[in-house]
Amino acid sequence: MQYFLTEEQKTIKDLARKIAEERILPVRAQLDEKEEFPWSIMKDIADSDLFRIFVPAEYEGLGYGCLELCLALEELSRACSGVAISFAVSALGSYTLIDYGSETLKRKYLPDIASGKKLAAFALTEPTAGSDASAIRTTAEKVAGGYLINGTKQFITNGGEAAVYTIIALTDKSKGTRGASAFIVDKDTPGFTFGKKEKKLGIRASATRELVFQNCLVPEENLISRPGMGFIMAMKLLDKSRPSVGAQAVGIAQGALEAAYDYTQQRVQFGQPLILQPVVQNMLADMALQVEAARSLVYAAARNVDSGKDYTESSAMAKVFASDVAMRVTTDAVQLCGGAGYMKDYPVEKMMRDAKITQIYEGSNQVLRSIIASELRKRKAANK
Ligand SMILES: Cc1cc2nc3c(=O)[nH]c(=O)nc-3n(C[C@H](O)[C@H](O)[C@H](O)COP(=O)(O)OP(=O)(O)OC[C@H]3O[C@@H](n4cnc5c(N)ncnc54)[C@H](O)[C@@H]3O)c2cc1C
């Protein structure tokens, strides 16, 4: 399939594939087993300038868009999506700052994120607020010298590893979502600590922790945009970043398809390689078809984001479709590898575990299906 990528886009893809094959593949099983944060691979990614993809050129980035980030993520996820997400969340943690932050804040934080010296994270979810993000309880009270933050964020990727956190907190509890605001918080701010590191089914190389704020004083200039804009900015950020989750899913599915192909080609049963069985060929063909359809939708959604036009629906579609494909394709890959596929000596059981999260985070697939349905209703009402 031709995707008409530019030479620069192909270079990004090749660079990410090189890191994936030379640096991630040899250690992915160990990272998964030991739940080890991949700091040395983050350094390789930084040295290859891939963190610069999503940062504008004025702040030492390369100023590329969503499609370029998706291309890099797909390749990294083909090897290990736990590593890929640790990289991707730096973009998630930076977008609000990039799109709405003051010049001072951008100059202070973005060059170090672009160089990979500092990782970023994004914190919206709380124990009481998952799919219903409007139920957050973390508060940011205006006091002399800034805002005093109190509350707990849950399930935060890169928590404890990132140096820079974009967090959403209520500056006016009486206004509900209109009273939420976004702040940049440095890791070493007094009153900011980390809770337990979660033990997970998949993406085990990534770190997921609680963030705990107890009278954490953040300077006023760390407020992004205006008070009350936090929820709106968070929703826009998620719309922008969902194709990246789709790309992660496509990478996982591609890796599983290739592993299943290789296995069925070399495994002999009934006197011939499994791949010669028509039923096996049908399964591989269906897997390939689904991966390609998901890739097409993800690239189209990423291009939509880069066009700046309304992308809520296309981003949700790409994330839902690609993550459902990743779950099906990885499950079929385990099936095609038989008992071996169930063992940790083969990569497909890890891919199946890793695929699951893509259906859950950045808006669960059920919630996103309701967003797609609501966009359908809007289109119908507008006769479009
Ligand atoms: C590994 C991991 C990393 C994460 N990283 C981050 C991060 O970096 N930053 C961050 O802010 N958050 C992060 N999250 C949080 C993630 O976005 C939430 O887990 C997700 O939005 C779902 O929320 P929940 O877990 O509270 O599930 P719930 O909201 O409790 O939902 C439980 C189930 O009910 C379904 N459901 C809920 N509401 C509806 C509805 N209206 N209609 C139909 N079904 C519904 C859901 O689809 C789900 O199946 C992470 C989560 C995980 C597991």
307 — pLDDT class (breaks 50, 70, 90): very high
248-265 average pLDDT score: 98
Instruction: Report pLDDT digits (tens) over 221-236.
Output: 999 999 999 999 999 9
Instruction: Report pLDDT digits (tens) over 57-104.
Output: 999 999 999 999 999 999 999 999 999 999 999 999 999 999 999 999
**pLDDT of res. 174:** 95
pLDDT at 383 over 90: no
pLDDT at 300 over 80: yes
204-220 average pLDDT score: 98
Q: Which residues are CB-neighbours of 7 under 8 A, at least 6 positions away?
A: none
- Percent of the chain exceeding pLDDT 70 equals 100
Q: Is the CB of 330 under 6 A from ligand 1?
A: no
d(CA 24, CA 116): 17
| Separation of CA 302 and ligand 1 centre (Å) | 23
Going along the chain from its start, the domains and CATH numbers come out as: 7-118 (1.10.540.10), 121-227 (2.40.110.10), 232-381 (1.20.140.10)
pLDDT at 384 over 80: no
pLDDT at 44 over 90: yes
Q: Is the CB of 359 under 6 A from ligand 1?
A: no
Q: Cα 346 to chain center, whole Å? A: 25
Q: Which atom of ligand 1 is nearest to the CA of 364?
A: 47
Instruction: Report pLDDT digits (tens) over 342-367.
Output: 999 999 999 999 999 999 999 999 99
Instruction: Report pLDDT digits (tens) over 150-165.
Output: 999 999 999 999 999 9
Report which secondary-structure segment, H or E, holds 320.
helix 312-336
Report which secondary-structure segment, H or E, holds 74.
helix 66-79
1 — pLDDT class (breaks 50, 70, 90): confident
- Whole-angstrom Cα Rg for the chain: 21
| 300 three-state secondary structure | helix
